[in-house]
Structure 1
């Protein structure tokens, strides 16, 4: 049977990292809203160019794009500086080059997953394309467009005082409630097809798996089968799915047909659907490492195969048979990573060394779980 051995700082120490207790099956449950969302309910990014003024000599108007932005603002304020041809002439260029209190910026605003309505105000971020600092600046004007700027539609207008949060990055700031919506951005949560309405549940990336998707489809099928009167009714949509009112499309998406009872109340159906509980059995074996903070998170039953790791003055050995067979975990002959980490911490091994040992085990193909480096 496989046991790990740990040698640390030249002291010959044998440490079993197998769990001393017998494993029990966990049947914890969670609501669907905690592990998935509705397709169509996504955030949207609005982007546009803007002009910041009022800078204390930290701006830059030497490039043509910034000069044209300044000319555009002045034109809107009734003081055009361009020539009759519509282009900046030499006189205007020479005058605008002298300006040091303006900067050209990229402005972004995030529309929440629930959408936004005309007149609603959002925060927006401002990133300078030129100049040294945005401290004390005012966003004079910015017109924001959607993901497809080619259509030319303006969804929001932005202006207001810029707040710089990070003193080390003075060229990035934000404007609180500086973005006012000029058009509605709607995020429909159902799709109409052949006279029927369909809702698609999208599992988040940390829970997406064929096992979970199949379990959710089964649970919905059991709970809502009585809402569909017959196979004939289900096939009436001619959508090619026969009587499958719910189906797991892949490891991430589960499509559900809205029952006739809820056709006029899709919001109520979506609410009830997201409140359904699903068991979290057989959690995926996963190790998440954040090198910046030195954090190691272990979920599921992560095991270690036969391996020897030598790092600095630490030797970790797993897979050598020893006579203390009463310490064997009843469900696996492989050592538990969680117990190994616990023993390393007890020996005051540094966070950096613990993380490096885990990574070496994974590179050797002996970490029986998914390794995620943040």
Structure 2
């Protein structure tokens, strides 16, 4: 591309983001404090550009950050045999014994030993069979008889499960003292990750044989549990306040406003909020919980988190993560986070009082300029290492 055309293209991109970057022959990454910088904008060079304001975020409700106690995910586990492998199975004694019993139970021709058990020697040379662990995760709402769920299959000793089919595996609950069969898994194994041939998935391969119901209240109390990422004393207090403000608002429910409809919520700690079910909602607990979960929340304190997956090249930056005014030199880029000076307009137009710039604005600008993700990650990690990034770094 012609260099003048390239420069025009970069300038157009920067105009949208309010960022100017200039190429400098810098050999090493440096980050230095910039004491004269106080505003929330990014600039480099001699000219400033205006960034458009962002739209306000949608309203957050109790449902977005809380779940009802009792509505948890549960898992079922089982041991099974996979057949049809292309010589990648295993000949472990446990696998051979399982195959012998299966052959006998299905009416296959197999000898018996002196004790009357299937003769494992008859199937000891099978190379296309493997023993596996099968698992399925039940949704928080539970599962009904006849539901078909995806199940995961993992080899115990086989080198690959590619091309295999799972013979019926009985799925048991998490309590070993209650070995009830909840479901049966079977079917052709799909390999979503070619780099891990010892793990696979059977889509809709687990059929529920009984109902699994999850309760959602105890006596006259519903307990709301904040998600781990949102658990804090301030957020628990905000949920308590939002629910208690329902009282007397007949626009939400015609039954509200009477003494028997009084709703009392109390935050127990930074994660749990207990809510008494009013007498008027006896037998209508579903309606009551629906009312609670749709209440809007304000004054939430979001955790300032940056999530990085270096292997997959993924960076997720929270809106509230801010950085100090700094000057950054990284490879061929020179970036300055600058304050309100003539010719410059801050990026954080929806919050002009914010003293610090947002990391997400910098990330968006770097992405628009096709800066490699690895370099973006290097810049973010160095900002954090030097105390210029105010938030938590999570590396996956």
TM-score, normalization by structure 2: 0.73
User: In structure 2, the residue corresponding to 1:42 is in which secondary structure?
Assistant: coil
Q: Does 1:83 align with 2:131?
A: no
Instruction: Name the residue aligned to 2:207.
Output: 180
- Give the match for residue 255 of structure 1: 274
1:73 paired residue among 102, 105, 108: 102
Contact 1:227 1:259 in 2 (8 A): no
Gaps of 5+ in 2: 1-19, 27-33, 42-49, 249-255
Corresponding residue for residue 216 of structure 2? 189
Classify the secondary structure of the residue corresponding to 1:151: coil
Query: How many residues are matched?
Result: 349
Instruction: Quickly say closer, same or farther: Cα 1:347–1:24, change in 2 above 3 A.
Output: closer
Match of 2:171 among 144, 149, 153: 144
What do residues 331-373 of structure 1 show as CA deviations (whole Å, max 9, x unaligned)?
Answer: 2444443444456557764332222121111122221233333
What is the DSSP-based 3-state SS (H/G/I as helix, E as strand, rest coil) of the residue aligned with 1:98? Answer: coil
Residues 273-304 of structure 1 show CA distances to partners (whole Å, capped at 9, x for unaligned) of: 11222236655444333434544444334332
Aligned to 1:221: 244
Of 259, 262, 265, 1:246 maps to 265
What is the aligned partner in structure 1 of residue 391 from structure 2?
369
Superposition deviation, residue 179 in structure 1: 2.0
SS state of the match for residue 159, structure 1? strand
Residue aligning to 1:237: none
Aligned to 1:98: 125
Alpha-carbon spacing, 1:324–1:335, altered in 2? closer, same or farther (3 Å): farther
Structure 1 match to 2:376: 354
Question: The residue matched to 1:224 in structure 2 has which SS?
Answer: coil
Structure 1 residues 289 and 123, CA gap change in structure 2 (3 angstroms): closer
Answer yes or no: is 1:268 the counterpart of 2:287: yes
Which moves more between the two structures, 263-272 or 219-228?
Answer: 219-228
Residues 283, 300 of structure 1: 8 Å contact kept: no
TM-aligned CA deviation for residue 260 of structure 1: 0.7
> Given the alignment, which residue of 138, 148, 168 partners 1:111?
138
Q: Please name the residue that 1:199 is paired with.
A: 222
- Check 1:119–1:306 CA distance in 2 against 1; reply closer, same or farther (3 A cut): closer
Whether 2:237 is the aligned partner of 1:210: answer no
| Native 8 Å contact 2:234 2:300 kept in 1 | no
Question: Structure 1 length normalisation: TM-score?
Answer: 0.77
Q: Matches of 2:303 and 2:21 in 1, distance apart?
A: 27
Any unmatched runs of 5+ in structure 1? 235-243
For the residue of structure 1 that corresponds to 2:228, the secondary structure is coil
Between 129-138 and 40-49, the greater mean CA deviation after superposition: 129-138
Rate the CA distance shift 1:210–1:167 in 2: closer, same or farther, 3 A. Answer: same
| 2:174 aligned counterpart, secondary structure | coil
The whole-number CA distance in structure 2 between the counterparts of 1:81 and 1:109 is 35
CA distance 1:9–1:343, change in 2 (3 Å):
farther
1:38-53 to 2 correspondences below 5 Å? 38-53=68-83
Sort the Cα spacing of 1:205 and 1:85 in 2 relative to 1 into closer, same or farther, 3 A: same
- The 2-side partners of 1:363 and 1:83 are apart by 68
Partner of 2:308: 289
Q: Given the superposition, is the C-alpha separation of residues 59 and 285 from structure 1 closer, same or farther in structure 2, using an over 3 Å criterion?
A: closer
Which residue is 1:9 aligned to? 24
Say if 1:285 and 1:324 are closer, same or farther in 2 by CA, change over 3 A: farther
- Which residue number corresponds to residue 84 of structure 2? 54
Q: Deviations over 1:99-151 (max 9, x none)?
A: 12211111111211111233433222222223343344332221111122343
- With over 3 angstroms needed to count, the CA separation of the structure-2 counterparts of 1:86 and 1:149, relative to structure 1, is farther
Deviation for aligned residue 1:267: 1.0
Secondary structure of the residue that 1:71 maps to in structure 2?
Answer: helix
Native 8 Å contact 2:97 2:120 kept in 1: no
* Alpha-carbon distance in structure 1 between the residues aligned to 2:327 and 2:54: 29
* Alignment RMSD (CA, Å): 3.9
Comparing 206-215 with 166-175, which one deviates more in the overlay? 166-175
